[in-house]
């Protein structure tokens, strides 16, 4: 008979198995897909991110600039994923209107707005001078 500690260790090891990791990855990808299918703003953010990355290639940004641009793009996408998760959970918990539910949704949307403003400013600081130099 195995002791309790042995069973817990065995269960922990199963969580690290390749099949469990692959299942976890599939759940995460499904979550991204759910957001992209259900949130029009998610697509707008993806298109903006692709345009930003394309501009980075065309304008030959430096490695440091790439890091900042990629961080900016992904912070916006992560914020949108969290926003959608909060909206789904809020709708589950409070299907009828409740002032606190509205505040939770507004706060999550505000996080996306701030992330988007930050990404826009980072893109502007990095890409605008390079675009101006090309247009001269």
Active site residues: 80
Under the phi-then-psi rule, with left for phi > 0, alpha for psi from -120 to 50, and beta for the rest, what region is 94?
beta
CB 62 within 8 A of CB 126: no
Distance CA 131, CA 3 (A): 66
């Amino acid at each position: 008979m195995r002791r309790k500690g042995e069973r817990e260790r065995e269960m922990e090891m199963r969580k690290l198995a390749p099949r469990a990791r692959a299942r976890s990855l599939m759940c995460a990808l499904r979550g991204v897909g759910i957001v992209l299918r259900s949130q029009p703003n998610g697509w707008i953010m993806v298109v903006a991110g692709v345009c930003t990355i394309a501009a980075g290639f065309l304008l030959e940004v430096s490695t440091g600039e790439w890091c900042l641009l990629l961080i900016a793009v992904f912070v916006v996408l992560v914020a949108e994923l969290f926003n959608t998760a909060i909206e789904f959970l809020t709708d589950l918990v409070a299907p009828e209107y409740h002032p606190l539910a509205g505040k939770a949704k507004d706060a999550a949307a505000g996080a996306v707005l701030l992330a988007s403003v930050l990404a826009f400013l980072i893109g502007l600081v990095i890409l605008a001078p390079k675009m101006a130099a090309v247009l001269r």
